[in-house]
Amino acid sequence: MPSPPRKARRKGSGVTMAEVAAAAGVSMQTVSRALRFPETVTAETRKLIEEAIEKTHYVHNLAASHLASAKSNTVAAVIPTLSASVFAETIQHFSDVLNAEGYQIFLGNTDYQSNREEAVIRSLLGRRPDGMFIIGTHHTRNSVNLLRRAGIPVVEGWDLTARPIDGLVGFSNNEAIAELVRHLVRSGRRRIVFAGLLRRGDSRAAERRDGFVAAMKALFPGEKPRLCIAHDLPLAMESGIEMLSRVGAEHPDADAIMFSSDIIASGALLEAVRRELPVPEKLAITGFGDFELARHLNPPLTTVAVPSARIGREAGRLLLETMKGQAPFQKRIDVGFELMIRQSG
């Protein structure tokens, strides 16, 4: 009985081991041996192969037994942190959409580190997912090249960019904070301070800072925008207490503090109440994200609501349509935002 014909390599499966071998000037067997048992090849050969992998953006297939299959029924998701409930909500709704169609989710956490994101992307691509969802739009050049060469649908989320890798579901962090600035100015605030935790790699917090600066310069030409930026604090309510003290020391005349996150804003608001600071009469406090805690504080926290659940659903739907070979009606979706005006500012 004749052997069944071999199935063609799945479309868009990326760079092959043969291409790596050609780039390194060695055989495929040598590349395979170097990847599986690096101690069996010389240091010089390993270096040649490593350089070829870097040059071709090859991703070693950790699920080679599935190469003959048309698809893996898995999707990868990359998030910046496991500690933020809004990202968890996004991933939950993303998973709901994909799980309903029989897909399982691989999850990777970057901890806001670009080099770690690159490693996570490479590792997840090695599982040969049928698509990938990434929170964020700022990536290293290597990460972008890996994703574009992988030949699978990619959706970025939680931000907007003029040059997405593929699909995009997000909102303008810049415009959201600018709209909150305009609200505070309309309510009579003038000496507004932006207090932000800018961890390296947290591009969304940087967008909010930039939006604040641009809005204040437009409203008060000639005045230097007031900033209180911390790079050394964790994303925790305790950091809000510390940031409140720093703002008090650096900008004692402040009549409003805009925090880059509800988490630190909540800590600052609780501390302000403990210190008997008159909020909002003398000092307005605002956050960003509309976490559940925000509406239950006393006074309730003014903030920006982000449709995190919708981001997850739209990203899942967009990825699903593309994986099925359908042409999505819209590949770049702006979900917008909403100001939640409460009693704190």
Query: Which domains, from first to last, does the chain contain?
Result: 17-57 (no CATH), 72-170+308-335 (3.40.50.2300), 173-305 (3.40.50.2300)
List b or e across 249-269, with b for residues whose CB sees 16 or more CB atoms inside 10 angstroms.
eebeebbbbbbbbbbbbbbbb
Q: Say yes or no to pLDDT of 188 above 60.
A: yes
Q: Say yes or no to pLDDT of 5 above 90.
A: no
- How far is the C-alpha of 199 from the C-alpha of 213, rounded, in Å? 18
Q: Say yes or no to pLDDT of 8 above 60.
A: no
- Provide the token pair at 152: 């699978």
pLDDT of 109-138, one tens digit each?
A: 998 888 899 999 999 998 889 999 999 999
pLDDT at 11: 43
CA distances to 152, 153, 173 from 137, rounded to whole Å, are 17, 15, 12
- How far is the C-alpha of 205 from the C-alpha of 310, rounded, in Å? 21
Confidence of residue 12 (pLDDT cuts 50, 70, 90): very low
Q: Say yes or no to pLDDT of 6 above 60.
A: no
pLDDT at 235: 86
Q: Say yes or no to pLDDT of 4 above 80.
A: no
- How far is the C-alpha of 322 from the C-alpha of 332, rounded, in Å? 13
Are 127 and 74 contacting, i.e. CB atoms less than 8 angstroms apart?
A: yes
Are 197 and 209 contacting, i.e. CB atoms less than 8 angstroms apart?
A: no
pLDDT of 139-172, one tens digit each?
A: 999 999 999 999 999 999 999 999 999 999 999 9
pLDDT of 60-115, one tens digit each?
A: 765 553 444 457 889 999 999 887 777 899 999 999 999 999 999 999 999 888 88
Which one is predicted more confidently, 202 or 88?
88
Q: Is the pTM of this model over 0.75?
A: yes
Are 247 and 262 contacting, i.e. CB atoms less than 8 angstroms apart?
A: no
Amino acid at 118: E
